[in-house]
């Protein structure tokens, strides 16, 4: 009886060990996949950093070809950005003023028409002061 119990326990432990080995195998596969993704992303990041460094150097050389330091060139670009923003705001204001001018022109036309109609109506009907 004791031996059969021990054999049963051994069998249970062997099954547990097998399950653990399978779990370890799955975890190793997951680890390998994570390592692969990490290396891929690290490589992509390094390539991106290198590309940005090359682009920064090209920009620096472009500024220097115009007699500007990198800092001066960046300041010029900031100024251009501000000017573009101001230009857009001014264009919007001009469009608004044009719309307003059209509205005023229409009002003036209406007022002239009303005045013309009043003058025309006054000729047909005598005013009480003229009677």
Q: Is the pLDDT of residue 52 over 90?
A: yes
Q: How far apart are CA 131 and CA 126, in angstroms?
A: 7
Angle between the N-to-C axes of helices 2-65 and 70-124, in degrees from 0 to 180, rounded to the nearest 10: 70
Place of tokens 């109609």: 117
Using a pLDDT cut of 70, give the percent of the chain over it: 92
**Confidence at 120, pLDDT banded by 50, 70, 90:** confident
Asked whether the beta carbons of 76 and 68 are under 8 A apart, the reply is: yes
**pLDDT tens digit string along 79-93?**
999 999 999 999 999
Asked whether the beta carbons of 73 and 59 are under 8 A apart, the reply is: yes
Q: Considering the entire predicted model, what is its pTM?
A: 0.46
pLDDT (0 to 100) of residue 118: 85
């Amino acid at each position: 009886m004791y031996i059969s119990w021990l054999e049963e326990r051994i069998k249970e432990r062997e099954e547990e060990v097998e399950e653990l080995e399978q779990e370890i195998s799955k975890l190793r596969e997951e680890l390998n996949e994570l390592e692969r993704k990490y290396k891929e992303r690290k490589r992509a990041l390094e390539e991106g950093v290198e590309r940005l460094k090359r682009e920064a150097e090209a920009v620096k050389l472009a500024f220097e070809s115009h007699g500007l330091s990198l800092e001066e060139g960046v300041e010029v670009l900031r100024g251009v950005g501000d000017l573009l923003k101001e230009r857009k705001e001014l264009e919007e204001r001009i469009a608004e003023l044009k719309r307003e001018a059209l509205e005023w022109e229409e009002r003036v036309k209406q007022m002239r028409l009303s005045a013309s109609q009043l003058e025309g109506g006054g000729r047909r009907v005598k005013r009480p002061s003229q009677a």
